[in-house]
Amino acid sequence: MPSPNQATFFVENLLTWYEENGRHDLPWRADAATPFNVLVAELMLQQTSAGQVLNVYGDFVQKYPTPESILDTPQEELADDIESLGLRKRTRYFREASEQLVENYDSSVPDTRSELLELQGVGEYTATSVLAHAFEKDVAAVDTNVARILSRVFGLDYDDKPEASENWELAEELLPSGRSSDYIHALIDFGAEVCTASNPSCESCPLEGICEYRSEESS
Ligand code: SF4
């Protein structure tokens, strides 16, 4: 586990990097995004790049601003609208989750983890992301990229295993209260731009000073 100084260094430098370099222009990160927009974006981002989602997200949320608008559309038309994203089961996720929202939550997106996890297509990462981005809850989410960053910086031996409970516990321990959305977005962008799976940019990395991986590589 990191020392308090390491934890502070990690979070402060990560958030500073994000403020200066993060992808603040992604529309699902805008303040105007509704909880339903955020849920749609998180379902789209499953196994899919932000670039691919960017190509369809704007038109999609304009056409489908509510769960009812999805249910009012023939399944084939909905499938055509998200075909470029791949993952055919996503059409079923959208329809069945929309049915659940209409029937059980008065067409709103619920704001508890247990309720979100009941929605079709929603797993731990998606539920946590919705809680952070739509409802500003103090929660942290771990995917493969986040697991890689934590493993490298803190010298953990459960590299690239996002489901490892140690990863989730550490990510939550480091979580800056009240900044969960920025924190999660920062980790996503940092993993895509700096601490990449191959050839990480260690020479210009703001976390270099505490990074175990970097220390071992240069010793
Ligand atoms: S120093 Fe290298 S390995 Fe460590 S966090 Fe930065 S980019 Fe990743």
Long-range contact set of residues 109-116: C-beta below 8 Å, sequence gap at least 24 = 109/35, 109/36, 109/38, 109/39, 109/134, 111/35, 111/135, 111/137, 113/139
Question: In CATH, what class is 27-135?
Answer: mainly alpha
Give the distance (Å) from ligand 1 centre to CA of residue 17.
Answer: 13
- Going from the C-alpha of 9 to that of each of 6, 16, 21, 59, 73, the distances in angstroms are 5, 11, 18, 40, 49
Give the distance (Å) from ligand 1 centre to CA of residue 201.
Answer: 7
pLDDT above 60: residue 19: yes
- pTM beyond cutoff 0.85: yes
Q: What is the pLDDT of residues 143-170, one digit of tens each?
A: 888 999 999 999 887 556 777 788 888 9
- Catalytic residue selected from 81, 143, 182, 189: 143
42 catalytically annotated = yes
The H-or-E segment that residue 21 falls in is helix 4-21
Q: Is 71 in the pocket of ligand 1 (CB under 6 A)?
A: no
Q: Is 194 in the pocket of ligand 1 (CB under 6 A)?
A: yes
Cβ(78)–Cβ(40) under 8 Å? no
Give residue 176's pLDDT: 95
Among candidates 215, 180, 203, which has minimal Cα distance to 6?
215
124 catalytically annotated = no
- Catalytic residue selected from 64, 93, 125, 213: 125
Q: What is the pLDDT of residues 48-59, one digit of tens each?
A: 999 999 999 999
Give the distance (Å) from ligand 1 centre to CA of residue 105.
Answer: 43
pLDDT above 80: residue 130: yes
CB-based contacts of 54, cutoff 8 Å, min separation 6: 26, 27
The dotted CATH code for 4-22+139-217 is: 1.10.1670.10
Q: Is 153 in the pocket of ligand 1 (CB under 6 A)?
A: yes
Q: How far apart are alpha carbons 42 and 20 in whole angstroms?
A: 24
Q: Is 43 in the pocket of ligand 1 (CB under 6 A)?
A: no
Q: Is 148 in the pocket of ligand 1 (CB under 6 A)?
A: no
* Segments of the chain assigned to CATH 1.10.340.30: 27-135
Give the distance (Å) from ligand 1 centre to CA of residue 192.
Answer: 12
168 or 34, which is more confident? 34
Average pLDDT for residues 62-71, to the nearest whole number?
Answer: 97
125 catalytically annotated = yes
